[in-house]
A = this chain, B = another copy of it.
Amino acid sequence: MTRFALTLEFDGTPFFGLQRQKDGPSVQQAVEEAAYRVLGEEVRLHSAGRTDTGVHALAMRSHFDIEKHIEPFRLMEALNAHLRPDPIAVTHCEVVADDWHSRFSCSGRAYVYRIANRRAPLTLEKDRLWQIPQDLDHEAMHRAAQALVGLHDFTTFRSVHCQAESPIKTLDRLDVERDGDEVRIHAAARSFLHHQVRSMVGCLALVGMGRWRETRLAEALQARDRQALGLNAPPHGLYFVRAVYPDDT
């Protein structure tokens, strides 16, 4: 048995999320089926994150175990050939120790959320950003976001379907920056609750539009009540960008 770590890039638009679902196509199913066609083995894909329907990944980290002997480069090439035409690419593949686990060994996760702050419809980047036509005050958003950084009970920003044992998490980073008509929100933590990033982004957008005063974000956090959530941002602006492991060099 050899454990292979994969780095996956995918367009989440056609998938019911990363994790295998009964009711529709998933990234996990597509990769497992490609591996079966390459290797003739049933593999089980594990991943650092569990992205939702429509959420994208620039560098998801995943792994599976296989019996057959194959060079990592050949495995990557063969998986990419068999993944077509699904918009999933294996951008890196390597052999790792048997006790390395893409999910359980992961010590940090990072997302970026992209907002197109403009009135004109999107063309080249349709389905790649959340479009908000009203002018966003990104500086107010950044200031408000700092109330969420640190160790908190994030019940307000947690989906009712979240399976985590505890709503208490440490948010390491929540930065808002503007680049022309694009507003980007960078979030990093050891781990996130289900819908946490989209819920935080939705409320930050309300601050940016002036519909929430800056302090209301802290109040929503302190309420520890899903009813205090203002808005859940749509999935198509969200990208899983990085998984961190203690033994990364």
Q: Does B10 contact A84, Cβ atoms closer than 8 Å?
A: no
CB distance from A5 to the nearest CB of B (A): 15
A63 on interface, CB distance cutoff 8 Å: no
A9 on interface, CB distance cutoff 8 Å: yes
Residues 127-159 (chain A) with a chain B CB within 8 angstroms? 128
Q: Does A123 contact B11, Cβ atoms closer than 8 Å?
A: yes
A56: B residues at CB distance < 8 A? 124
Residues 65-86 (chain A) with a chain B CB within 8 angstroms? 76-77, 80, 83-84
Besides A9-B120, A9-B123, A89-B123, 11 other A-B contacts (C-beta < 8 A):
A10-B123, A76-B119, A76-B120, A77-B119, A80-B119, A80-B120, A83-B121, A87-B126, A89-B120, A89-B121, A89-B122
A243: B residues at CB distance < 8 A? none
* Chain B residue at minimal CB-CB distance from A77: B119
29 CB-based A-B contacts, threshold 8 Å: A9-B120, A9-B123, A9-B124, A10-B123, A10-B124, A11-B123, A11-B124, A11-B126, A56-B124, A58-B124, A76-B119, A76-B120, A77-B119, A80-B119, A80-B121, A83-B121, A84-B121, A87-B123, A87-B124, A87-B126, A88-B123, A89-B120, A89-B121, A89-B122, A89-B123, A90-B120, A91-B118, A91-B120, A124-B128
